[in-house]
Amino acid sequence: MNASPAAGLLPATRNALALLLLAMADDEFVIGFSDSEWTGIAPILEEDVAMSSLAQDEIGHARALYELLAEVVADGRDADAIAYDRPPTGYYHARLLDHPRGDWAQTIARRYLYDTADAVRLEALAGSSFAPLAALVGKIRREERYHLMHVSTWLDRLALAGGESRRRLLDALERLGPDASTVLAPLPSETALLMAGIVAASAAEQEAGWRAAIGPTFERLGLPMPPPVSAPETARSSHSSAFERLHDEFTSVRRIDPAATW
Amino acid sequence: MTEPVAPDRLAAATEAPAAAKAVGSPGVLEPWEVFRQEKEGDPMRHGGSVMAPDAVLAVHYARELYGRRDESIRLWVVRRADVHQLEDPDLLQPPLDRSYRKPGGYVMRDKLGAAREQAGTTKPKANRG
């Protein structure tokens, strides 16, 4: 087996990198699984295929990030073991993704908030000093471009349709808004990441960039901007009972026979 | 998805809630025809159709149904209502014998041979490519 691509990093930098990869991978994994619950019941057949395809893309991104994480930590666990063999409390996704998929408006609102925040996070990693991550981010961004196009066109439709569509969207934004920027809340290891040039912008800078990016859309559609995050220190811990149910579901096959080969 | 959808069934499937209707923009689904090209230089071939409320989502859905597995390098999406159709049998399948219009009855070999002799050329070799 090849040496870890992170072999040349200082231990503190390596740990910081591992935490960043875990946060990103868990985010993609959880939203991918959550949105895949629409398969078979989305509003129309074409959208069913589209949402399922987006969800599969996110699982694909999660897999690539878990694989990279497995190489960085090099503790013998593979991507599947990291993805599936943790208790719910061991996951490190943002609180925004603790919400259930809810109705269609909540799914669209969450995807919009998440995808726009993720785009800013990915931009800050595009020139990462950790070359394997920069290369992976380059590929992920090419797929996320379409995700943003698709969810933006849905946000417009729900916001501009008026009536029940708009009311449900506003309800969803009220529920999700306070947790929206948990995706960009600072990691405890942020300083090490910035010093090593792994990330180009601090969490605060990323959040400002995200607000500047979505501001014109929210203003055009007359939607309330997400408030500042509450309790940023627990942005990625103390998960909801909705997540515990999702975890129970997505680990159910793995638990039957963790050593099964596919 | 390639079958025409009866207007009444379509309306039932896309009925917007009364409240949304009141402000007047419920996206009504209609069929869009999708053409796809497999590689540069190939003709655009009809792939099938999607239901969508407008061109933007029609393109997204065409991408998902006819392009998400690297099977296309280009897609065209055309509103079915914008396709002009001709299926009149009097125009396309006339009843009288028209075989005299087809070139099958001509033997070209002798004429080509004479033309080559006159021009002093020989028959090109068969292409073994």
Q: Dump pLDDT digits (tens) for A98-130.
A: 999 999 999 999 999 999 999 999 999 999 999
**Span A49-59, average pLDDT:** 96
Query: What's the Cα-to-Cα distance from A236 to each of A2, A86, B17, rounded to whole Å?
Result: 32, 15, 38
DSSP run (H or E) holding B52: strand B45-52
Q: What is the pLDDT of residues B23-76, one digit of tens each?
A: 334 578 999 999 999 999 999 999 999 999 999 999 999 999 999 888 999 999
Residue A236 near residue A93, CB atoms below 8 Å: yes
Cβ–Cβ gap B17/A53 under 8 Å: no
Q: Write the CATH number of the domain with boundaries B7-18+25-85.
A: 3.10.20.520
Residue A103: inside a domain, yes or no? yes
pLDDT of residue A11: 93
In this structure, is the dihedral angle defined by the CA atoms of residues A205, A210, A211 and A213, taken in order, positive or negative? positive
Phi and psi based region of residue B45 (left: phi greater than 0; alpha: psi -120 to 50; beta: remaining):
beta
Contacts of A160 in chain B (CB under 8 A): 25
What are the residue boundaries of the structural domains of chain B, listed by start?
7-18+25-85
pLDDT of residue B5: 42
Q: For A10-24, A79-93, A201-215, B114-128, which range has the lowest pLDDT when averaged over its residues?
A: B114-128
Contacts of A50 in chain B (CB under 8 A): 60-61, 64
Closest to B25 (Cβ–Cβ): which among A53, A161, A164?
A161
Closest to A161 (Cβ–Cβ): which among B26, B52, B68?
B26
pLDDT of residue B127 exceeding 90, the answer is: no
pLDDT of residue A206: 98
User: Domain range spanning residue A51?
Assistant: 11-225+234-256
pTM: 0.83
Residue A194: inside a domain, yes or no? yes
Query: What's the Cα-to-Cα distance from A174 to each of A105, A181, A226, B84, B98, rounded to whole Å?
Result: 12, 13, 8, 48, 72
**Span A19-36, average pLDDT:** 97
Residue A102: inside a domain, yes or no? yes
**The length of chain B, given as a count of residues:** 129
Q: What's the total number of domains in chain A?
A: 1
Determine the distance in angstroms separating the CA of B31 from the nearest CA of chain A, rounded to an integer: 11
Tell me the residues of A at the B interface, defined by beta carbons under 8 Å apart.
44-47, 49-50, 53, 146, 149-150, 153, 157, 160-165, 167
Percentage above 70 pLDDT, chain B: 75
Predicted confidence band of residue B126 (pLDDT cuts 50, 70, 90): low
Predicted confidence band of residue B129 (pLDDT cuts 50, 70, 90): very low
Residue A262: inside a domain, yes or no? no
Q: In sequence order, what are the beta bridge partners of B32?
A: B50, B79
Residue A15: inside a domain, yes or no? yes
Q: What is the ipTM of this complex?
A: 0.84
Tell me the residues of B at the A interface, defined by beta carbons under 8 Å apart.
1, 13, 16-27, 29, 50-53, 56-57, 60-61, 63-65, 68
Predicted confidence band of residue B105 (pLDDT cuts 50, 70, 90): low
Residue A242: inside a domain, yes or no? yes
Closest to A46 (Cβ–Cβ): which among B24, B56, B64?
B64
Residue A92: inside a domain, yes or no? yes
Cβ–Cβ gap A163/B50 under 8 Å: no
Residue A16 near residue A187, CB atoms below 8 Å: yes
| Helices (H), ranges, chain B | 7-14, 18-23, 55-66, 89-92, 109-119
Of the residues B1, B51, B64, the best mutation for testing chain A's interface (the one with the most A CB atoms within 10 Å of its CB) is B64
Closest to A46 (Cβ–Cβ): which among B16, B23, B52?
B52
- Domain containing A133 — which CATH number? 1.20.1260.10
CA distance A139 to A254: 28
Residue A261: inside a domain, yes or no? no
